Amino acid sequence: MTEPRCRVPTRIAILGATGSIGRSTLDVAARHPERFEVFALTAHSQIAELAQLCAVHRPRYAVVADAGQAGALAAELAATGTSTRVLAGEPGLLEVATMPEIDCVMAAIVGAAGLRPTLSAAQAGKKLLLANKEALVMAGPIFMAAVRANGVTLLPIDSEHNAIFQCLPAGGTSHIERVGVRRILLTGSGGPFRTRRLADLAAVTPDEACAHPNWTMGRKISVDSATMMNKALEIVEAHWLFDAAPERIEVVVHPQSVVHSMVEYEDGSVIAQLGNPDMRTPIAQALAYPERIAAGVQPLDLAALGALTFERPDFERFRALALAYDVLRAGGTTPAVFNAANEVAVAAFLGGALPFTRITALIEAVLAGVPAGPIRGLEDVLEADRAARAYAHAAVQSGMLRSA
C-alpha cells in the first residue's frame, strides 16, 4: 500500500512501555516514523529501562510510580541530554492519558493498576488500544459506557480479541447477534502444562510456569496462561467488547497458537484469523486501523506447519475457565473480586508463598468470602478490589492454602 506523502503523525502515549506489549508497540511505531510520534512513555519502577527507551524514542513526557523514582529518571535523562519531561504517580498517568495533544493511547499496564488511566483515556475520547483486559473485567459497564458516551475508537490488542474484531464485519465490536454471529471461539494454547500429569503440578516452579511454549510475555501473564486464567479473564473481556452472552463464548485449546480466534455465523461459516504468534501483528492492525502496515512479523508458512490441532478444554485441569462463566453470570462486582484474587494468588505463587495448584483454590475462597454487590460507580469497583485483596492476603498469610 502506498502511503500519502503528507501525513500528520499520530501522537501515541504508551502506558506500560517497558513491558512486552509496550516494547512491541515501540518496535512497530519505529518502523513508521512518518506515521507515528511517541509522545509519552510510562513505567512503574524500571527506571533504567525507561531511560533507555526515552533516549531512543525521545518522547515529550515520561511517567514513573513516585517522586523519588521521577528524580532518578530525570537525572539519568539529563546525563544523556534527553529533554523528556518526567511526571510521577497516578496524577502523571492520568495527565498523559488525557493530554489534548495525544491522539492514541496504548493501555498496556498489567492488572488493576491500569484501570484509572485507561478509563480516563476513554473519558477523554482518545483512540484506545486496549491491552489492559482488567479494565473491562473489573469495570465493564462503566468502561463501555464511557466508550459509547465519548465516541471512542476502541481496538482490542489481546491477540484473541483482535482476531475476533477482524473476523466481524467492519466496526463490529458490539451486538454480535445483529450480524448473525452464533458463537465466538476463543483459542488458547493450554500453556506449558497442558499434558503434564495433574499429580505432578504441585511441584511446578515459577520459572517453569513462566516458560510459555509459544509467546514471550511478562511473568504474571505467563502464569495466567499456565492456569488458563488469562482465558478466563478473556471470556469476561469478550462479553463486554462484543456484547456477547456467556453461552455464545467458547474456548478451544489450540497448542500451536496460529489460529488466534474464530467467529461462527448462523449460516455455518467459521471465519478465523491466523498468524505467527507475535504481538506486533495485532498492535500494527490497531495502530493503523482501518489501514494495514508492516509489523516486522515473519510470514506464516502453513506448509511448514503441517497441521493445526484443536481440543476441548479440560475444566478439571483449568478450573478458572468454569469460574469465569459463574463470575459473568453473577455480575456486579464479582469480576473485580475474581481479578483481584488472581493477582494476589499469582504474586504469592511467584514469591514462593503458594503452590501452583492452589492458585485457583485461593481465587475460589475469595469469591466465596467476599460479598459481591452492584456497580453504581467506580468506587464500588475499587472497594470490591480492596476487599478481595485484603481477604486473599489474609488467606495466604494464614498458611491454610499452602498445602497442595
Inter-residue contact 308 to 259 (CB < 8 Å): yes
284-290-292-295 Cα dihedral, nearest 10 degrees: 0
| Domain residue extents for the chain | 10-152, 174-275+314-398
Q: In the chain, how long is the greatest CA-to-CA distance?
A: 64
At residue 172, the pLDDT reads 56
Which pTM was predicted? Answer: 0.92
Q: Which fold has domain 10-152?
A: Rossmann fold (3.40.50)
Residue 179: the pLDDT is 83
What is the residue-level pLDDT of the chain in tens, covering all 404 positions?
444 445 689 999 999 999 999 999 999 999 999 999 999 999 998 999 999 999 999 999 999 988 999 999 999 999 888 899 999 999 999 999 999 999 999 999 988 899 999 999 999 999 999 999 999 999 999 999 999 999 999 999 999 999 999 999 875 555 676 788 999 999 999 988 898 998 889 889 999 999 877 767 788 989 999 999 999 999 999 999 999 999 999 999 999 999 999 999 999 999 999 999 999 999 999 999 999 999 999 999 999 999 999 999 999 999 999 999 999 999 999 999 999 999 999 999 999 999 999 999 999 999 999 999 999 999 999 999 999 999 999 999 998 676 55
Place of cell 475457565: 321
Q: Which three cell numbers stand for residue 262?
A: 474464530
Q: How far apart, in whole angstroms, are the C-alpha atoms of residue 194 and residue 316?
A: 12
pLDDT the model gives residue 4: 47
As beta bridge partners, residue 184 has 249, 263
- What are the angstrom distances between the C-alpha of 246 and each of 46, 142, 238? 38, 19, 9
How far is 221 from 255, CA to CA, in rounded Å?
A: 17
The pLDDT, as a whole number, for residue 402 is 66
Could you give the CA distance from residue 28 to residue 36 in angstroms, rounded to a whole number?
Answer: 9
- Burial of 371: CB neighbours in 10 Å, binned 0-12, 13-18, 19+: exposed
Report the DSSP pairing between strands 104-107 and 154-156: unpaired
d(CA 82, CA 75): 10
Task: Please provide the CATH number assigned to the domain covering 174-275+314-398.
Answer: 1.10.1740.10
User: Rounded to whole angstroms, how far apart are CA atoms 332 and 319?
Assistant: 21
CA distance 145 to 255: 36
Q: What angle do CA 130, 20, 102 make, to 5 degrees?
A: 45
181-188 and 61-64 strand pairing: unpaired
Query: Which pLDDT value is given to residue 2?
Result: 47
d(CA 239, CA 34): 36
DSSP-assigned letters across all residues of 36-57: EEEEEEE-SS-HHHHHHHHHHH
- 393: phi > 0 → left, psi -120 to 50 → alpha, else beta; which? alpha
Amino acid at 30: A
Helix segments in 58-132, DSSP class H:
67-79, 89-98, 115-123
CA pair distance 282, 155, nearest whole angstrom: 9
CB 205 within 8 A of CB 6: no
- Strands (E) located in 221-370: 249-253, 259-265, 270-274
**Res 403: pLDDT:** 59
Distance separating alpha carbons of residues 358 and 402, to the nearest angstrom:
7
Same fold for the pair 10-152 and 174-275+314-398: no
Q: Using alpha carbons only, give the angle 323, 159, 388 rounded to the nearest 5 degrees.
A: 35
